[in-house]
Amino acid sequence: MILKKTRRSLMIVMTKDTMQIVREQDVVPFRNRVRELSTKIGMSLVNQTKLITAASELVRNMLKYANGGKVMLETVSKNAQSGIRLIFMDQGPGITNVQQAMQDGFSTGKSLGLGLPGAKRLVNEFDINSIPGEGTTVTIIHWKHGR
Amino acid sequence: MNKIAQLLQNNKKQILESWMQNQLADASLRDDLISNEELRRQSDELISGLARATSSGNMDNIYTPEYEPVVEILSDISITRARQGFSPRETGMYVLSLKQAISTVLEEKYSEQPEVLYKELITTHKLLDNLSMVTFDTFIKGREEVILRQTDEINEISTPVIRVWEGILALPIIGTLDSARTQIVMENLLEEIVNTGSSIAILDISGVPAVDSLVAQHLIKTVSATRLMGAECIISGIRAEIAQTIVHLGIDLSNIKTKASLASALQLAFSMRSVEVRKINKNTGFSLTR
Ligand SMILES: Nc1ncnc2c1ncn2[C@@H]1O[C@H](COP(=O)(O)OP(=O)(O)OP(=O)(O)O)[C@@H](O)[C@H]1O
Ligand SMILES: [Mg+2]
Q: Is A147 on the interface with B (CB under 8 A)?
A: no
Give the pLDDT confidence of B6-49 residue by residue, as tens digits: 889 899 999 999 988 888 887 666 666 667 788 888 889 999 99
Q: Is B155 on the interface with A (CB under 8 A)?
A: no
- Give long-range contacts, CB 8 A cutoff, 24+ apart: B37-44: B40/B16, B42/B73, B42/B77, B43/B16, B43/B19, B43/B98, B44/B16
Same domain, B74 and B136: yes
pLDDT at res. B153: 75
Is the separation of the CB atoms in B159 and B173 below 8 Å? yes
Beta bridge partners, A131, equal A135
Among B153, B176, B210, the domain boundary falls at B153
Distance B74 CA to ligand 2 centre (A): 43
pLDDT at res. A95: 97
Same domain, B132 and B185: no
Same domain, B30 and B141: yes
Q: Ligand 1: which of A53, A87, A95 to mutate, judged by most atoms within 8 Å of the beta carbon?
A: A95
Q: Is B212 on the interface with A (CB under 8 A)?
A: yes
**Overall pTM > 0.90:** no
Three-state DSSP state, A128 = strand
Residue B174, domain extent: 162-289
- The burial class, CB within 10 Å (0-12 / 13-18 / 19+), for B136 is middle
Residue A18, domain extent: 2-143
What is the total count of domains within chain A?
Answer: 1
Q: Which of A46, A52, A57 sits opposite B213 (nearest CB)?
A: A57
Predicted complex ipTM: 0.83
Opening angle at CA A22, ends A20 and A25, nearest 5: 100
Kindly report the CATH number assigned to the domain that includes residue B181: 3.30.750.24
Residue B287 banded pLDDT, cuts 50, 70, 90? low
Give the pLDDT confidence of B160-200 residue by residue, as tens digits: 899 999 999 999 988 877 777 788 888 889 999 999 999 99
Q: Which of B214, B217, B250 sits opposite A117 (nearest CB)?
A: B250
Same domain, B141 and B10: yes
